[in-house]
Chains A and B, each alone.
Chain A
């Protein structure tokens, strides 16, 4: 049952992820990306990590992708406007090279990756629940957790700085 669900979800994930790349219409790409996040959350639930699954939906599907969709709808990109902009040969070559490099890195990483043997007898299946995750975050990983919040704060300050009106700028 769980195995079949895993294969079904994986198929959906790959299908949606390919849809992101191959859609002609950017709005379809974003919708496919949202579907990808949902299927990834399905994988988290299969791993009994309910908290990560819910937060993935709230943060990515519920907030970040809404903003993506927001911007793309405003730009209203479509096939006609895309085709009028001619992409130069240099750009295509650069794209192929960087994509190929990424592929090489991925193969190199996957080649040396060792799947840690899981001790199924002593494995704590409750490890992904909120209580355990919270315990871990506020004891073992307290410093990285706090540092991440400082990172977020600096990003927020940067966003406010960029969005602030200049003193000479007219108010519209």
Chain B
């Protein structure tokens, strides 16, 4: 790659990194505001207009708290836990296509994406499966029974739901025939019933999407599956011994995970950066196909972020509406409910593909 092209790539990666962190910061604000809205109370509204300065105030508070490490804790692993949680959370946004290409005369087509790899889906799956290490190491290094129980819960929960997650992805993979997230997004730009940009996978994989969504809640340790940190029984779960910014990193990593999972769900099932009537709108705004393509790309990025925000809102809505599962219910749902369902989904998808090829639909 040429140096200017590399520089553009670096800029895009930096921008994605920064935007992810910015959205995660404001997720902490949105979570409390939405909780307040759902429970008929104001929520944080004192710092700045509508409480928008609250995340900054929180960050200052967390940074100035005493850096406390318990005497019996394993010091290095105690620090490594939250760092690993944050690292794995930030790694996965690298392959998500945030937009289509920008066509320019000088540099050719610029992809709005960190890196384009042909195993994007496997990469996401791999990084998600590593996410549990931060929690496990932190929970064990605290040398506290409650932390250890939280860590063990996180591990068995993540492993159980990873299987159903992978199986629901396989159905999408069979349909699209590619592991590249960009390819999957581009395939959904086709017209459906004459509406361009509406060929979303959700219309073909509704069962797969519900399985994926449930597993996503479990993998990000969100209510109703937040057993690793259930405060009623485990004090604080895996982060009982944590304070100051190390606790902050754990909580922050959870929000980054939610953003990434929302982005992946939008890409896989909800058309990614495509939106209804995109070709017609492009043709209406500019007669030059190149300019029209660029306008559509920019609008697509906006639409993609709207989809992400919608999913984030859904995550928060569920958190403040549903009570927590019991642990045996959680494992029963995973092993006896979701895994057989996802296998049925694979069989149904395979049958549909065979039939459609046979009858030439």
Residues of A at the B interface (CB closer than 8 Å) are 27, 31, 34, 50-51, 54-55, 57-58, 61-63, 66-67, 69-70, 73-74, 129-130
Contacts and interface: CB of A to CB of B under 8 A. Distances in A.
Nearest to A70: B155
17 contacts: A34-B133, A50-B118, A54-B123, A54-B125, A54-B126, A57-B129, A58-B126, A61-B129, A62-B126, A63-B159, A66-B133, A66-B155, A69-B136, A69-B140, A73-B136, A74-B152, A129-B118
Interface in B114-169: 117-119, 122-123, 125-126, 129-130, 132-133, 136-137, 140, 148, 151-152, 155-156, 158-159, 162
B179 interface: yes
A63 B123 contact: no
A50 B136 contact: no
A129 B118 CA distance: 8
Contacts of A63: 129, 159, 162
Question: Which of A34, A51, A54, A74 has the largest number of chain B CB atoms within 10 A?
Answer: A54
Contact of B119 (A50, A67, A73): A50
A70 B132 CA distance: 11
Q: Is the interface of B mostly helix, strand, loop or mixed?
A: helix
Contacts of A62: 126, 129-130, 162
Given A66-B132, A69-B140, 17 more contacts: A27-B77, A34-B133, A54-B122, A54-B125, A55-B122, A57-B126, A62-B130, A63-B159, A66-B133, A66-B158, A69-B133, A70-B136, A70-B152, A70-B155, A73-B152, A130-B118, A130-B179
6 cross-chain pairs, A with B, having the tightest CB-CB distances, nearest first: A62-B129, A54-B122, A57-B126, A58-B126, A73-B140, A70-B155
Nearest to A50: B119
A69 B137 CA distance: 9
A70 B156 contact: yes
Given A27-B140, A63-B129, A69 B155 contact: yes
Contacts, number: 59
Interface residues of B, number: 24
Contacts of B151: 73
Contacts of B129: 57-58, 61-63, 66
Contacts of B130: 57, 61-62
Given A61-B130, A66-B158, A73-B148, A54 B136 contact: no
Contacts of B133: 34, 66, 69
Contacts of A54: 119, 122-123, 125-126
A33 B159 CA distance: 19
B133 to A, nearest CB: 7
Contacts of A50: 117-119
B36 to A, nearest CB: 37
B159 A67 contact: yes
A62 B161 CA distance: 13
A66 B179 contact: no
A140 B136 CA distance: 42
Contacts of B132: 66
